[in-house]
């Protein structure tokens, strides 16, 4: 599986519409998604998947150079419902279709049903005329892994060993399936991710590969913050690990924004899901700058505004120093974050082959 | 607008599912559509559009080399809901999006609503990354025209001058819009098409261009048949016409099959549409061999079997003589015909550019 920081032939996103995920009928979320799409489209072809009922809306919000393609979905998390792609050095590519169960299925998944989401991997391979490997007996979301293209997989124990995914497999069996499915050789297990992250703490919100032998790690500097301890535990694992090539891993610390909380108005704007509120007033959202997209020419990262203006700026400078050859574009992402994820979660690259 | 007999980059079809159009839940129709798709795919890439609910069924019935792409529709008539395409000699192509109103809108259209069908032209251009001309103030279906790529348009008065399409435009205004939309210079008006054809007698069921200066004309040899007179009237028009280049038009007569009637069992297998039966027992179906698809390497034409076995064979031989360089493939098409059209109606080429 090629790394995200390698070249892409394009990027896929899904137009949001679910009113229990996106406040006030997803109107602001759609605008934020459009900004992300435009920023990525500076360097690669973006395809926005939209339901029939949202097709015209998508077409209206997006410039002509972004392709809109009808596709059904249960929500808008392209990272997690797309196939992963594996390539070889002969110019071959295959999609790998893992099973998607809405981050935990009937155990602790976030919605039901998820059949439309789970069908997207197959449909995308069909759309791009890419053959597919069926890995649907294994539950995996794209956001729960980060790879370096050299055979290393980063993941979190909280997520990959959760009871809602592959409860009958041991840690060793999960490692084996992961390596088999992704063409990898080594798994580095971080203990967890960002506290409160509903995906059982996907790795893409706390730590991702930015280059060979180099990761971005979300970093909490406030000792009183519940996140403080976990960031240090992750750092410790990384400092004591080598990647699949045997090299040490350089860790770039990306300081977190100040805590971001749901407002009363935002909670008011969300439909109920199964008779319950999706979010509560003053609920802390799992904000992190690591949840960014590494495009061909741009790195698109979240900004949170308000009292985080300074933090936004500082994070963008650090990211710029890691990707000096790319344009770093910050997109105001509060309306994406409210849905439960961020820019990395709503995008998926298709690698060059 | 290039002729259908010129080269294509591909062909689009729509997987049938509407139970008031296709008997017994469209099961047999889907198999017939798959046969058509496979025959065309011998010479060009076929994309089958399917709803989310039919996607797996389509994938199961079709070989891997046929692409299935999700798209909503109201029925399965790719000829009539696709954009037309116009090209120039600089390698440019544009889709032309005419308005589709289910063959007559609220006046004498065949179903309501038709919004999903009408959206397909735009969505297809988006899918293929082809820019579009908006001609949506003019009602037109692809089956109501046949072009030679030299500036000539064949059409029928019964259809293009029908009250359900562009009732506020005069014949001259309709000619003008047609030529403008299709990049044509001359319209040849046939008086009508095949009797009982619910599309107000689309030209593609009676007469189509097979080559420059050459048409196939559906031909009735039975004086007692209600179709006898109309075939002669059309021949007379053709014999007295020249095409846009000023040349005479050679007419190849393609004898019609013996009348094909709905059986009781078939009528029984159709859901009602707006509280009324779609078809009646012993209703005559508008069977014609002219309703064929001219692909890159194959000509795919209908066969009706039973007491038409001889007629099927004779028609295929004539078609073979017109396209000696292509493989002529007859597909048993009764299950397509019951829906109200035939192989040309369920296919649409995308020209080379």
How many other C-beta atoms can be found within 10 angstroms of the C-beta atom of residue B236?
12
Smallest Cα–Cα separation from A47: which of A68, A74, A73?
A68
Average pLDDT, chain A: 97
Closest-approach residue (CA) in chain B for A127: B69
For residue B302, what are its two tokens?
């209908």
How many structural domains is chain B composed of? 1
Q: Mean per-residue pLDDT for A255-266?
A: 97
Residue A232 lies in a domain: yes
| Chain B environment of A126 (Cβ under 8 Å) | 59, 67-69
pLDDT beyond 90 at A120: yes
Q: What percent of chain A has pLDDT over 90?
A: 98
H or E element that contains B214: strand B214-219
Chains A & B: contacts with CB separation below 8 Å = 42
Residue A71 lies in a domain: yes
Q: What does the DSSP 8-state code read for residue A144? A: G
Q: How close B156 gets to chain A, by Cα (Å)?
A: 33
Residue B215 CA, distance from chain mean position: 15
| Chain A environment of B71 (Cβ under 8 Å) | 70
Average pLDDT, chain B: 97
Q: Mean per-residue pLDDT for A133-137?
A: 97
Residue B2 lies in a domain: no
* pLDDT at res. B275: 84
- Of the partner residues A67, A116, A131, the one whose CB lies closest to the CB of residue B52: A116
Cα–Cα distance measured from residue A102 to residue A117, given in angstroms and rounded to the nearest whole number: 8
Cβ of A121 under 8 Å from any chain B Cβ?
Answer: no
* pLDDT at res. B272: 92
Q: At what angle do helices A52-61 and B115-127 cross, to 10 degrees?
A: 50
Tell me the whole-structure pTM to 2 decimals: 0.93
pLDDT beyond 90 at A276: no
Smallest Cα–Cα separation from B303: which of B269, B263, B343?
B343
Closest-approach residue (CA) in chain A for B72: A52
Residue B317 lies in a domain: yes
* pLDDT at res. B276: 86
* pLDDT at res. A274: 85
Q: How close B13 gets to chain A, by Cα (Å)?
A: 15
Exposed/middle/buried for residue B300 (C-beta within 10 Å: 0-12, 13-18, 19+): buried
Q: Mean per-residue pLDDT for B23-50?
A: 98
Cβ of B59 under 8 Å from any chain A Cβ?
Answer: yes
* pLDDT at res. A287: 97
Q: How close A224 gets to chain B, by Cα (Å)?
A: 49
Smallest Cα–Cα separation from A100: which of A117, A84, A75?
A117
- Asked if B72 and A70 come within 8 Å (Cβ–Cβ), the reply is yes
> Which residues on adjacent β-strands are paired with residue B239?
none
pLDDT beyond 90 at B274: no
pLDDT beyond 90 at B25: yes
Cis before B108? omega within 30: no
Domain range for B62: 8-351
* pLDDT at res. A253: 98
Q: In which residue are the tokens 């082809």 written?
A: B130
Angle B321-B326-B330 from CA coordinates, rounded to 5°:
80
- Asked if B72 and A64 come within 8 Å (Cβ–Cβ), the reply is no
Q: Mean per-residue pLDDT for A254-279?
A: 94
Which pLDDT band, with edges at 50, 70 and 90, does A6 fall under? very high
Cβ of A123 under 8 Å from any chain B Cβ?
Answer: yes
CATH code (residue B136): 3.75.10.10
Range in A150-159, B39-48, B277-286 the model is least confident about: B277-286
Interface test with A, best of B65, B125, B126, B128 (most A CBs within 10 A): B126
Is residue B345 annotated as part of the catalytic site, yes or no?
yes
The string of pLDDT tens digits covering residues A72-98 is 999 999 999 999 999 999 999 999 999
Which pLDDT band, with edges at 50, 70 and 90, does B83 fall under? very high
Rounded CA Rg of chain A: 19
Strand segments, DSSP code E, in chain A are: 8-14, 45-50, 67-70, 84-87, 93-99, 132-139, 146-147, 152-156, 186-190, 207-211, 214-219, 250-255, 260-261, 272-273, 276-277, 284-285, 293-294, 298-303, 327-332, 347-351
Which pLDDT band, with edges at 50, 70 and 90, does A155 fall under? very high
- Of the partner residues A56, A72, A131, the one whose CB lies closest to the CB of residue B70: A72
- Asked if A119 and B56 come within 8 Å (Cβ–Cβ), the reply is yes
For residue A79, what are its two tokens?
């990272």
Q: Mean per-residue pLDDT for A10-19?
A: 97
Interface test with A, best of B9, B48, B52, B116 (most A CBs within 10 A): B52
Q: Mean per-residue pLDDT for A336-347?
A: 98
Strand A84-87 relative to strand A93-99, pairing: antiparallel
Residue A215 lies in a domain: yes
Residue A341 lies in a domain: yes
The string of pLDDT tens digits covering residues B191-209 is 999 999 999 999 999 999 9
Judge whether B289 and B301 are in contact, CB under 8 Å. yes
Cβ of B127 under 8 Å from any chain A Cβ?
Answer: yes
- Of the partner residues A69, A123, A129, the one whose CB lies closest to the CB of residue B127: A69
* pLDDT at res. A275: 84
Q: Where are the alpha helices (DSSP H) in chain A?
A: 27-40, 52-61, 78-81, 105-108, 115-127, 157-160, 171-182, 228-239, 264-268, 309-322, 334-337
Q: What does the DSSP 8-state code read for residue B273? A: B
Range in A143-152, B124-133, B274-283 the model is least confident about: B274-283
């Amino acid at each position: 599986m090629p790394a995200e920081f390698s070249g892409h032939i394009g990027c896929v996103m899904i137009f949001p519409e679910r009113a229990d995920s996106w406040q006030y009928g997803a109107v602001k979320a759609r605008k934020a998604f459009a900004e992300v799409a435009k920023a990525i489209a500076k360097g690669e072809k973006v395809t926005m998947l939209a339901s029939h009922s949202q097709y015209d809306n998508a077409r209206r919000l997006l410039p002509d150079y972004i392709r809109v393609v009808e596709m059904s979905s249960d929500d808008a998390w392209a990272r997690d419902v797309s196939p992963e792609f594996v390539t070889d050095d002969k110019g071959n590519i295959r999609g790998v279709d893992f099973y998607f169960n809405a981050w935990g299925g009937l155990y602790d998944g976030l919605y039901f049903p998820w059949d439309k989401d789970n069908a997207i991997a197959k449909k995308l391979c069909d759309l791009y005329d890419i053959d597919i490997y069926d890995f649907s007996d294994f539950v995996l979301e794209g956001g729960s892994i980060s790879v370096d293209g050299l055979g290393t997989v980063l993941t979190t124990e909280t997520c990959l060993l959760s009871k809602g995914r592959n409860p009958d497999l041991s840690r060793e069996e999960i490692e084996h399936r992961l390596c088999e499915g992704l063409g990898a050789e080594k798994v580095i297990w971080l203990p967890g991710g960002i506290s409160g992250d509903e995906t059982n703490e996907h790795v893409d919100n706390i730590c991702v590969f930015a280059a060979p032998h180099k990761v971005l790690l979300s970093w909490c500097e406030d000792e009183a913050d519940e996140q403080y301890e976990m960031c240090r535990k992750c750092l410790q694992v990384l400092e004591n690990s080598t990647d699949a090539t045997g090299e040490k891993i350089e860790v770039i610390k990306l300081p977190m924004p100040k805590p971001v909380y749901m407002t009363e108005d935002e909670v008011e704007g969300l439909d109920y899901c199964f008779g319950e509120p999706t979010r509560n007033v003053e609920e802390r959202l799992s904000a992190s700058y690591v949840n960014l997209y590494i495009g061909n020419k741009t790195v698109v990262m979240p900004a949170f505004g308000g009292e985080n203006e300074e933090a936004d700026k500082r994070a963008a400078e650090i990211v710029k120093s890691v990707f000096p050859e790319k344009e770093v574009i910050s997109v105001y992402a509060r309306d994406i974050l409210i849905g439960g994820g961020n820019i990395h979660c709503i995008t998926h690259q298709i690698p060059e082959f």
